């Protein structure tokens, strides 16, 4: 009888541990977000101010849009290091097109076209050239930045069309337009990844590329599509970045955006090896980064140490992923 009780206790304990493990595996980023939010509220009363909360959303909007595309790329088993440089290039060329045409629509379309084309080239190098995504996008990072510097003579390019700044400096109800665009892009990518065949194929590609190929999935086309998608989202981010100040710097705009985007994706639970991750996880990863940046500023942490904190968080997130 005693042996039966011990076995029943062990079974219940194992079941409880399994449930807790599943709960942490599925909702760890949300739990971390709640803990961080509560902790930040206790550490600094200014954190809960509505204007500060809206400011956090505004600050993460550009990185958030890029991070959504980065999630898709990393789910496919790749990575894109060129997003910051492509943003600068798209911004420079779009402002020149804006000034030459006098049309805001032309400027926006140009940014999307440049971003999409850069992503398409990355996809071609990875899919058809059989170049590792790290190397291909590293080359694009250097090339895009160099072209942006050449076109802008190493400086900044300013918009000359009135009304262009309204894109990033308008609001609807209490939310700034860039925040609404960020939420819209998040919803769009969520539907694409979790409700369409494209999303299922991306997960299959990231889980096992050979199995995906044997399942009649057009792997090359999927890779090109994935990188074109992130390029298009970078184009959207370039429009917001340029519109915010009505100018774009060929040297500093987009600098280290790839680090922030990758950090948000990893914190959100997406595996570096691909095949596992969620768009909602990336959303909370972006918000966690935003809260961390905001708290470091509110507590006067040196800007020179903030990069160290982000790097440390990435390492911790990867360690937890390996333990799952």
**22-36 per-position pLDDT tens digit:** 566 677 888 889 988
**Average pLDDT of 91-104?**
95
What pLDDT is attached to residue 157? 94
Is residue 155 situated within a structural domain?
yes
**CA–CA dist 100, 195 (Å, integer):** 41
* 115, 262, 307 from 304: Cα distances, Å: 30, 20, 7
Higher pLDDT pick, 173 / 226: 226
Residue in the block written with tokens 């996809």: 123
Q: List the domain range (segments joined by +) for residue 119.
A: 50-323
What pLDDT is attached to residue 321? 61
Is residue 63 situated within a structural domain?
yes
CATH of the domain at 60: 1.10.3470
Is residue 3 situated within a structural domain?
no
- How many structural domains does the chain have? 1
- Whole-prediction pTM: 0.91
Is residue 26 situated within a structural domain?
no
Is residue 226 situated within a structural domain?
yes
Q: Do β-strands 156-158 and 247-249 pair in parallel, antiparallel, or remain unpaired?
A: antiparallel
What pLDDT is attached to residue 286? 95
Is residue 5 situated within a structural domain?
no
204: pLDDT strictly greater than 80: yes
**CA–CA dist 65, 188 (Å, integer):** 11
Is residue 100 situated within a structural domain?
yes
C-beta of residue 286 within 8 angstroms of C-beta of residue 198: no
* 77, 83, 190, 264 from 69: Cα distances, Å: 13, 10, 11, 11
Residue 44: which pLDDT band, with cuts at 50, 70 and 90?
confident
Is residue 284 situated within a structural domain?
yes
């Amino acid at each position: 009888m005693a042996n039966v009780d011990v076995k029943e206790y062990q079974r219940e304990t194992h079941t409880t541990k399994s449930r807790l493990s599943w709960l942490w595996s599925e909702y760890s980023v949300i739990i971390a977000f709640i803990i961080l939010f509560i902790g930040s509220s206790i550490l600094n009363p200014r954190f809960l101010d509505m204007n500060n909360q809206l400011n956090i959303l505004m600050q993460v909007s550009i990185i958030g849009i890029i991070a959504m595309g980065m999630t898709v790329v990393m789910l496919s088993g790749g990575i894109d290091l060129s997003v910051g440089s492509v943003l600068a290039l798209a911004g420079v060329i779009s402002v020149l097109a804006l000034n030459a045409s006098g049309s805001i629509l032309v400027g926006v379309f140009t940014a999307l076209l440049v971003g999409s084309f850069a992503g398409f080239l990355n996809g071609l190098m990875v899919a058809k050239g059989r170049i590792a995504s790290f190397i291909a996008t590293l080359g694009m990072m250097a090339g895009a930045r160099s072209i942006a510097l050449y076109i802008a003579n190493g400086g900044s390019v300013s918009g000359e069309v009135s009304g262009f700044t309204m894109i990033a400096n308008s609001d609807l109800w209490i939310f700034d337009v860039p925040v609404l665009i960020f939420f819209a892009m998040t919803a769009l990518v969520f539907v694409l990844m979790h409700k369409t065949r494209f999303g299922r194929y991306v997960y299959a590609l990231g889980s096992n590329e050979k199995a995906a190929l044997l399942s009649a999935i057009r792997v090359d086309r999927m890779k090109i599509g994935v990188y074109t998608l992130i390029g298009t989202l970078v184009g959207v981010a370039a429009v917001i970045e340029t519109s915010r100040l009505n100018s774009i710097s060929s040297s500093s705009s987009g600098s280290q955006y790839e680090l922030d985007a990758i950090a948000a994706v990893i914190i959100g639970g997406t595996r570096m090896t691909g095949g596992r991750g969620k768009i909602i996880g990336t959303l909370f990863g972006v918000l966690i980064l935003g809260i961390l940046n905001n708290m470091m500023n509110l507590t006067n942490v040196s800007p020179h140490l903030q990069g160290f904190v982000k790097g440390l968080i990435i390492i911790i997130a990867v360690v937890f992923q390996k333990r799952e």
